Amino acid sequence: MSLKGKTYIVTGSYSGIGYASAEEIIRQGGKVILTATERHSRLLQESAQRLGEESTRWIAADLSDKAATTEIVNFAFAQFGAVHGLVNNAAYFPRNDLSNVDFDSFDTMMAVNVRAPLFLIKDLMAKTQVAGNDLTVVNIGSINAYCGQPDLLCYSISKGALQTMTRNLADAHAGKGLRINQLNVGWTLTQSEIDLQKNLGRPDDWHQHISPVFAPRGSILSPLEIASHVAFWLSDNSNPVNGSICDLEQYPVIGRNKIADN
């Protein structure tokens, strides 16, 4: 496997897509740095223990803090001596629209969802170029990047910005040690989504009754399904593709005709 012996940073990786991606990377022979905020440090530690101490390290860092990106990168190099790839998975996603958006929420959203991925790449590139190895980046975007549902205004803006950043960096650094692509993920059954739906008053079995408008096969995506794509785009198997936006959904996002709801 092309991930064997390589080290990857996966942000927002105590559960959900991040954890599943870390698990798949390790299954394919790689090593992983897990990250999340301080309030999730216990869950991070437990996740690292499940994945195995030989191939996993963890660091609690708040990506809304400007110093966090350098802290994470320095930690990764101190632990494993090199970093070959980055999965920008961490995201802040409170629901808002034009009627209730506020400055603080917007600033935090952009700091975590856009600024942190950019400066993680910047800090990693500075070190990997000295170390003499290339860097492969997978940004976890969202189909909301194309427009977004009405109550995900700031989140949609941030994922659109991440999408443009992916293309810009790929264009500027093609052949210069950076390969970067983005996965625009559709509705996925993460723990965060389960908690959100519960807070919205949905029944415990809500995910078993999804309209075919949103899940033609009868169920939404799982973190494990996303993780297999993450591993592919990190690997040499996806070479030489660079700057691509891959939509991970059960239907064509652009130009889609809605399915009649039975």
Report pLDDT digits (tens) over 26-58.
999 999 999 999 999 999 999 999 999 899 999
Strand pairing class (7-10; 85-88): parallel
| Dihedral Cα 16, 148, 87, 27, nearest 10 deg | 40
CA distance 9 to 246: 21
Please, where are the H alpha helices in 100-211?
Answer: 103-110, 116-131, 153-173, 191-199
Q: With 80 as the cut, is the pLDDT of residue 150 above it?
A: yes
Pick 228 or 191 by higher pLDDT: 228
Q: What band does 191 get if pLDDT is binned at 50, 70 and 90?
A: confident
Closest CA to 117 of 256, 11, 1: 11
pLDDT value, residue 194: 86
pLDDT at residue 166 greater than cutoff 80: yes
Per DSSP, the three-state class of 26 is: helix
pLDDT value at residue 259: 58
Average pLDDT over residues 118-125: 98
Tens of pLDDT along 207-259? 998 888 889 999 999 999 999 999 999 999 999 999 999 999 999 998 887 65
Residue 262 pLDDT grade (very low, low, confident, very high; cuts 50, 70, 90):
very low
Cβ neighbors of 96 (< 8 A, separation 6 or more) are: 102, 105, 151, 152, 153, 154
What pairing do the DSSP bridges indicate for beta strands 56-60 and 31-36? parallel
pLDDT of residue 2: 83
**Which secondary-structure segment (H or E) carries 58?**
strand 56-60
What stretch of H or E contains 50?
helix 41-51
β partners of residue 60: 36
Instruction: Determine what percent of the chain is predicted with pLDDT higher than 70.
Output: 98
Check: CB of residue 245 under 8 Å from CB of residue 141.
yes
pLDDT digits (tens, 9 = 90+) for 54-107: 999 999 999 999 999 999 999 999 999 999 999 999 999 889 999 999 999 999
Residue 178 CA, chain-centre distance (Å), reads 17
In one-letter notation, the amino acid at residue 175 is: G
Q: Rounded to whole angstroms, how far apart are CA atoms 159 and 163?
A: 6
3-state SS track over 209-221: CCCCCCCCCCCCE
Tokens of 258: 């809605």
Q: How far is CA 65 from the centre of its chain?
A: 18
- The pLDDT of residue 81 is 95
- DSSP run (H or E) holding 74: helix 68-80
Domains and CATH numbers, the chain: 7-186+223-248 (3.40.50.720), 191-220 (no CATH)
Residue 138 has pLDDT above 90, yes or no: yes
Q: Is the pLDDT of residue 129 over 90?
A: no
Average of per-residue pLDDT across 120-130 = 93
